[in-house]
Amino acid sequence: MEDLQQLKVFSEVIARKSFTRAAIALGVSKASVTKTVAQLEKDVGVRLLNRSTRSVTPTDAGQTLAQRLVPLFGLIQELDTELSDFAAHPRGRLRVAAPHGLSLSLLGWHIEDFITGHPDVHVSIHLSNRDDDLVMGAIDVALRIGPIEARDAVVRKLQPVPLVLCASPTYWARKGMPSKPEELARHEVLTYSLWDASPRLPFLIDGKTQYMPVRSRLDADDAAPLIALAVKGLGVTCVPEVLARAHLGSGALVPVLQDAMPPTIWLYATYAHRSHKSAALRAFLDFLTSSAGGFPAH
């Protein structure tokens, strides 16, 4: 290995899972990225990447190298951040991961105010529910709707997120609207798989949050398909109200059992320990916890 540039290029290919996307991120040609990785493999004497027309995946040796590079580049980034922060001025690229559905609301949270107020920060939004990119250093902060499990990361509570249980008018006409949570047992439910391994829904009963088992017809790790399928009449779903608001307003979805729903879950930000001194990250988190960054009102 001649220099750190080879390792940086290799890490970008791993993070982006593509030579083309790595080249775009680095601002160089795809041919340059391919040549650099090939030279690195020649230098170490072992193949690091499996290449196909559709994907790029690390070999066992490549995965080992990628994992070892995470703390190395973390230290380099931390040093660079500390030097930049002498001016205590947010700057540079801030890579934000958000679930596909949440991203639509994120873009509507007056995020233009953050960008306008921080002209030296470039925000890069990645649509993903995966936390691997956070661990591998491909993003700086991940926005997640809880509950979540922190894996070697800092977790910060940002905003309360009201839930809504809803279905289409055609579904309610066919199945009838439940008057109490127990009646959901006879309904077809579209569940959010990231919240719980078993199909169940939270309700506020006698002042406490209790979980009711339900019959899940379909589950997904993103709210967008749940909402879309609920609109089509496939079943009942429980999702963040802000994500279903347009359909609720148009009447395409009709809420039910609103008095029994728990008051909120929470929006969290998770970020690697190495990122905690970033002025850009601090400014972004402060923005999201402020009234300016909150969910828009009904």
Q: Over 90: is that where the pLDDT of 173 sits? A: yes
Which residues on neighbouring strands pair with residue 108, listed in sequence order? none
- Average pLDDT of the residues in 165-193: 93
Specify the pLDDT at position 183.
92
Alpha helices per DSSP H over 17-168: 19-26, 30-44, 60-84, 100-107, 111-117, 132-135
φ, ψ of residue 49 in degrees (nearest 5)? -130, 140
CA dist., res. 207 & res. 54, Å (int): 52
Q: How confident is the model at residue 212 (pLDDT cuts 50, 70, 90)?
A: confident
Q: In this predicted model, which residue has the larger pLDDT, 88 or 288?
A: 288
Question: What CATH fold (topology level) applies to the domain 88-159+266-293?
Answer: D-Maltodextrin-Binding Protein; domain 2 (3.40.190)
The pLDDT assigned to 34 comes to 92
Digit-coded pLDDT (tens) for 40-73: 999 889 999 998 877 889 999 999 998 888 888 8
pLDDT at 35: 93
**Reading across the β-sheet that carries 254-255, which strands appear in turn?**
215-220, 188-192, 236-240, 163-167, 254-255
Q: Does residue 136 carry a pLDDT above 60? A: no
Q: Exposure of 48 by Cβ count < 10 A (0-12 exposed, 13-18 middle, 19+ buried)?
A: buried
- For the domain 4-69, what is the CATH code? 1.10.10.10
Question: What pLDDT is attached to residue 190?
Answer: 94
Across the chain, mean pLDDT equals: 83
Contact in structure between 216 and 189 (CB atoms under 8 Å): yes
pLDDT confidence of 277, banded at 50, 70, 90?
Answer: low
The DSSP symbol for 296 reads P
Mean pLDDT within 149-165: 81
What is the reported pLDDT for 274? 60
Residue 37's pLDDT is what?
92
User: What pLDDT was estimated at residue 48?
Assistant: 92
**Whether pTM exceeds 0.75:** no
pLDDT score for 294: 60
Tell me what the mean pLDDT of segment 140-151 comes to.
76
Domains in the chain: boundaries: 4-69, 88-159+266-293, 163-263
What percent of the chain is predicted at pLDDT more than 70? 82
Residue 228's pLDDT band (boundaries 50, 70, 90)?
Answer: very high
CA distance 120 to 103: 22
What are the pLDDT digits (tens) for 26-44? 899 999 999 999 999 998 8
Cβ within 8 Å of residue 109, ≥6 positions away: 288, 293, 294, 295, 296
Of all residues in the chain, the percent with pLDDT exceeding 90 is 31
pLDDT at 240: 86
Question: Given this model, what pLDDT does residue 84 score?
Answer: 62
Compute the average pLDDT of residues 140-169. 83
Q: Above 70 in pLDDT, residue 106?
A: no
Say which CATH topology domain 163-263 has.
Answer: D-Maltodextrin-Binding Protein; domain 2 (3.40.190)
Mean pLDDT computed over 81-110: 71
| Per-residue confidence (pLDDT) for residue 192, from 0 to 100 | 81
- Is 88-159+266-293 in the same CATH topology as 4-69? no
Residue 73: per-residue pLDDT: 81
